[in-house]
Amino acid sequence: MREWKRDVMFWRFAAYGFLKNLRLFEPFLILFFREQGLTFLQIGILYTVRELATYVLDVPTGVFADTVGRRVTMVLSMLTYILSFAIFTLTSSFYPFAVAMFLYGLGDALRSGTHKALILSYLKLKGWSHLKVEYYGGTRSWSQRGSAVNVILASVLVFFTHTYRWVFALSIIPYVLNLINLATYPAELDKVITDKKKREGFYILRLFEFLRNGDYRRALLNSALYMGLFRGTKDYLQPVLKGLALALPVLLYLSGEERTAVLVGLVYGTIYLLNSVASENAYRIRDALRGREGLAINLTYAVGSLSVLLAGLTFHISLKWLSVLMFLFLYLIQNVRRPITLSYISDTVPENAVATALSVESSVRTLYAAALAPVIGYLADTLGVGLALASVGAITLLLLPFVSVRERSGV
């Protein structure tokens, strides 16, 4: 029986996701770096800086969230992001960008797993723990709506300013609003774990207890490899769209930047609106497979990896519209599988270890993304963007037999 209420906290959780995704620079990040004269390899190194910062700090920040407080951790995350955006706004070279990307990675480390754990704690307090996929999918759908609004605002800004720089400055505003939202979350959302955690000390000493759990370990690797692939390749839609915008025999009275802004707005806006629907209905995919979360996770891994492979191949042979369509599948699959994967992982570890478990998963996926980023950049500089994408998509797909998850007992 699925009964849960879209109460005040649902909308505050949704507001967090909506505001978090108002990163106006995101649809243009690679194009911004290219505008500053960076090579794809340098861009890959910057992505690696971000991912390694997250990797190194993810588990400690997860433990920090479980022992000191999740709300405090989320507020610190927002402050770190704001500083990163300010540096991007005010500087124009590789090394300051590296500092900004490090701070960006620190913000991700503080945030990853922590807000999900707040939601799961709230569901436990309300007696809705069995509705994790439905509830989290509902809040996540607002993240995608935020992304849709984000790309429209960003595209309009780039269209009229003819530069990508100001998208960083304006991204600070929603993050200040989110900081206020998070700082005023109810204190009882921390109380679920802090009473026990402060007696037990740092939870890292018990980490290996659930790492020995085979179901968790395989879900960890499955999620991490797919998310690493997604994070490492998703932004390459931007040069694909720029190439398509310049090749289309329409809107020729506009400059190249204006045509790119229009196409980026249309495509990303469509993607994020569809993602909102996909995320909100993720449980329907699971139910269509008769509740077999393991099968849903493995199937979406295969389809997503294949999407990257085909996106690269079709771009390489100049079928740019098909490449864009493959990226659309990649984004949709990510938003279908994430709520299902979250439910699977959270059910394989003790409730008071969820934030740490999700931070470990995030650490592994960022390590894979960090390894992929310079490889993709180097291949893009030498072989072209298309073959670079096809190569990493194929590698990730070939790893599926080694990370396939099993159905949990009793399912």
| Domain coordinates in residue numbering, the chain | 8-403
Confidence at residue 2, expressed as pLDDT on a 0 to 100 scale: 53
- Is residue 53 a contact partner of residue 105, using CB atoms and an 8 Å limit? yes
pLDDT at residue number 57: 84
Q: What is the CATH number of domain 8-403?
A: 1.20.1250.20
Q: How far apart are CA 363 and CA 371, in angstroms?
A: 12
Q: Which portions of the chain are predicted below pLDDT 50?
A: 1, 192-203, 410-411
Q: Is the CB of residue 45 less than 8 Å from the CB of residue 373?
A: yes
pLDDT of residue 286: 59
**Amino acid 220: pLDDT:** 82
Q: Tell if the pTM clears 0.95, that is, is over it.
A: no
pLDDT in tens, 193-239: 444 444 344 445 555 665 676 677 788 888 888 888 898 899 999 98
Residue 169 and residue 85 in contact, taking contact as beta carbons nearer than 8 Å:
yes
Give the tokens for residue 50: 């971000």
The pLDDT score that the predictor gives to residue 312 is 95
The pLDDT of residue 411: 43
Q: What is the pLDDT of residues 275-306, one digit of tens each?
A: 767 666 656 665 666 557 778 889 889 999 99
Q: 92 with 56: CB under 8 angstroms?
A: no
Indicate the burial class of 333 (C-beta count within 10 angstroms; 0-12, 13-18, 19 or more): buried
